């Protein structure tokens, strides 16, 4: 059974810092990994999808990497802004076709 762990559980940083959020998973036989953002009381917004055959994906200030063999992914946020404050979730999809989520990293970026 796939298990997904996200570290740290919470993070509070001043504006402008570069951040690294971590996601690890136990079964490396995956199709892809998605990073999502969730604002309080809202739904999930997809940020990046990394396919199993890819090493990284970039979108604006976000860069996500995938090391399938070691069961790890990182989400790098450059030059953080208060508007980046949210919970970040990673989800791994394997042979069951069911995305499995970590518990998320709650990020606060203060001015």
The site for other proteins (CB under 8 A) is made up of: 31-32, 34, 36, 41-46, 49, 51-53, 89, 91, 93, 96-104
Distance CA 71, CA 88 (A): 18
Instruction: Indicate the residue among 41 and 111 with the shorter CB distance to other proteins.
Output: 41
Distance of closest approach, residue 42 Cβ to other proteins, in angstroms: 7
CA distance 42 to 39: 5
Measured from the CB atom, the residue of 45 and 81 that comes closer to other proteins is 45
Strand partners, 29: none
- Least distance from other proteins to the Cβ atom of residue 13, Å: 20
Distance in Å, CB of 79 to other proteins, minimum: 26
Whole-angstrom Cα distance, residue 111 to residue 104? 23
């Amino acid at each position: 059974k796939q298990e997904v762990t996200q570290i740290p559980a919470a993070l509070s940083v001043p504006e402008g810092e570069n951040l690294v959020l971590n996601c690890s998973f136990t079964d490396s036989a995956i199709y892809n990994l998605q990073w999502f953002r969730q604002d309080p009381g809202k739904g999930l917004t997809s940020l990046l999808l990394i396919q199993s055959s890819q090493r990284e994906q970039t979108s604006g200030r976000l860069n996500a990497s995938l090391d399938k063999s070691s069961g790890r992914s990182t989400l790098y946020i450059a030059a953080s802004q208060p508007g980046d404050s949210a919970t970040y979730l990673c989800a791994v999809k394997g042979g069951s076709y069911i995305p499995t989520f970590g518990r998320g990293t709650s990020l606060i970026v203060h001015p």
